[in-house]
Amino acid sequence: MWKLNWTELGIDLDRLKEVLTYDAAQPMIFSSGFFLLLFLGFSLVYLLLQKRTTARLLFVTLFSYYFYYKSSGTYFFLLGIVTVSDFLLARRMEMTVEHWKRKMLVVCSLCINLGLLCYFKYTNFFYEMLAPLWNGRFEPLDIFLPVGISFFTFQSLSYTIDVYRRDLKPLSSLLDYAFYVSFFPQLVAGPIVRARDFIPQIRRPLSVTSEMFGQGIFFIVSGLFKKAVISDYISVNFVERIFDNPGLYSGLENLFGIYGYALQIYCDFSGYSDMAIGLALLLGFHFPPNFDSPYKADSVTDFWHRWHISLSTWLRDYLYISLGGNRKGKIRTYINLILTMLLGGLWHGASWNFVVWGGLHGVALALHKFFRNLLGRPKQYRSRGIRKFFAVVLTFHFVCFCWIFFRNSTFEASVTMIRQIFTAFHPELLEQLLTGYWKVFALMGVGFLLHFCPDSWQNACSRGMVRMPLIAQALIMIALIYLVIQVKSSDIQPFIYFQF
């Protein structure tokens, strides 16, 4: 009987199995060559299903679940639990008239989503705090943190809360809701796309204009450059060395390490967001912007209008306002701001370092609001001229100071880094430092130059990409991929926000 010989066909089944199954050491990320090839094949099927909406939605949903499996293994079932439970709860809410019953249903949604988040993310954190109460020795439990759980739980919660508030009509199709929650461009690291922004686009006839396509390519190229060229290179070759052993380096080196991390985390996270926005545009969907040159901010309040916009607006609309916002007096407003940022810090990770980071930002937001009220300045007030310059410099350095606690794994390491800067600065090492790490500082210079350049420059580049013929866009993408291969480290560097 004739038997198919895969080897003769040039197909290595072991290699194929390795590629298709989850590998904890190499999760699926946008900047990997495997994803770019996979997305090319995905796009061909997507185009074939252009006029078959339901089949296209099903195909994308299945691909999204596969994408999440390649990122977190078998924990993709959590995505299914959140999707089915919130879909059914929202449907039930719509059919329920009594206010207390509707409240119980939304509380149930909160318990499911936050319960999963708390178990996987905070069990060891609270266990470590409570262990001394019964004279127990803390031994961390072996709990795997699924990639992106903080993002898709918050995204799904925005849907049920909006339905509860009657700001949104629930979907009648489970497939449509599964498509919304699992849509792979923003699944594992945001942006947190609101249901009211995304759901109207789901069954809209698929249309990708030449402008959308050009902008999509621009965002992907921009994001890939920021992540794979700037962020990864300065991280592996400089920033990680400083933060791993801050006591071994002078204050000058520590200071530049902090500046490097400020650029690294911006390029890493905004690079992911850019690629997510670009991929969505290529598929015919629009995402809101998630970053707006945050280090140009002239106050902490302005910074949070520019940094991780989808999270800051989520915290504002669903936490700060729920706590009372500014409706219960000035003192309560300041307390609500601090509480919101403390919880926002804890959202980033189960560590007191993140709580300190959030608390510092919360106090700074409260103080800024206090002095603005004291001086009678309206919300629209903006510094100008030399005052704006110093306001931007001060805000940037405050944000960098807070990054110390965000990046370090222990509070002691943060204190060591600060102590080195103030007691062992050694400015005479500057020439030696610049000579030894000239490639790193050249890329840092490029990164900060691109960040602080006028918005009109970026808009001009985007328009230029849109006007280019397809072959020129393809050549730019190929050239960038070649550049990434030349500068990348031996190991794939996961996106920083995968851990959140």
Of 234, 221, 191, which Cα lies nearest the Cα of 448? 234
CB-CB contact of 280 with 297 (8 Å): no
pLDDT of residue 486: 66
Give the C-alpha separation, 351 to 358, whole Å: 11
HEC string of 347-414?
HHCCCHHHHHHHHHHHHHHHHHHHHHHHHCCCCCCCCCHHHHHHHHHHHHHHHHHHHHHHHCCCHHHH
Which residue's entry shows tokens 């207390």? 100
pLDDT band at 1 (very low <50, low <70, confident <90, very high): very low
- CA torsion sign, 93 to 96 to 102 to 104? negative
Judge if 219 and 272 occupy the same domain. yes
Pairwise pLDDT comparison (423 vs 380), residue with the higher score? 423
Judge if 97 and 227 occupy the same domain. no
The total number of structural domains that make up the chain: 2
Residue 376 lies in a domain: no
- Where a domain ends, among 181, 202, 223? 202
Give the C-alpha separation, 452 to 11, whole Å: 49
Prior bond of 200 cis (ω within 30°): no
Judge if 191 and 261 occupy the same domain. no
Of 221, 205, 204, which Cα lies nearest the Cα of 213? 221
DSSP state for residue 327 in the 8-state scheme: T
3-state secondary structure of 114: helix
Mean pLDDT on 39-50: 88
pLDDT of residue 16: 56
Which residue's entry shows tokens 């996979």? 38
Residue 35 lies in a domain: yes
* Degrees, nearest 5: CA angle 148-259-26: 35
Residue 31 lies in a domain: yes
Active site residues: 348
- Among 28-37, 63-72, 238-247, the least confident range: 28-37
Residue 308 lies in a domain: no
Tokens of 166: 């009657």
Give the C-alpha separation, 111 to 265, whole Å: 31
Judge if 125 and 77 occupy the same domain. yes
| φ/ψ of residue 351, rounded to 5 | -155, 145
Burial group, residue 380, by CB count within 10 angstroms (0-12, 13-18, 19+): exposed
CB-CB contact of 338 with 368 (8 Å): no
Give the C-alpha separation, 171 to 91, whole Å: 7
- Where a domain ends, among 202, 229, 250? 202
Judge if 175 and 252 occupy the same domain. no
pLDDT digits (tens, 9 = 90+) for 406-422: 999 888 999 999 999 99
Which residue's entry shows tokens 């050694």? 426
Give the C-alpha separation, 319 to 214, whole Å: 37
Residue 261 lies in a domain: yes
Prior bond of 191 cis (ω within 30°): yes
Judge if 100 and 166 occupy the same domain. yes
- Does 192 have pLDDT greater than 60? yes
Judge if 429 and 292 occupy the same domain. yes
In which domain, by residue range, is 131 found?
22-202
pLDDT of residue 281: 92
pLDDT of residue 285: 93
Pairwise pLDDT comparison (225 vs 482), residue with the higher score? 225
The answer, as to whether pTM is greater than 0.85, is yes
DSSP state for residue 25 in the 8-state scheme: T
CB-CB contact of 373 with 355 (8 Å): no
- Where a domain ends, among 202, 236, 263? 202
Judge if 230 and 170 occupy the same domain. no
- Does 97 have pLDDT greater than 80? yes
HSE (side-chain half, CA atoms, 13 Å) at 414: 18
pLDDT of residue 480: 76
Hey, what amino acid is at 333?
T
pLDDT of residue 496: 67
Residue 341 lies in a domain: no
- Among 7-21, 38-52, 238-252, 462-476, the least confident range: 7-21
Judge if 220 and 284 occupy the same domain. yes
pLDDT digits (tens, 9 = 90+) for 318-350: 999 888 888 888 889 999 999 999 999 988 887
pLDDT of residue 128: 76
Mean pLDDT on 463-468: 85
CB-CB contact of 86 with 113 (8 Å): yes
Residue 432 lies in a domain: yes
Residue 351 lies in a domain: no
pLDDT digits (tens, 9 = 90+) for 197-224: 999 999 898 888 888 888 998 898 888 8
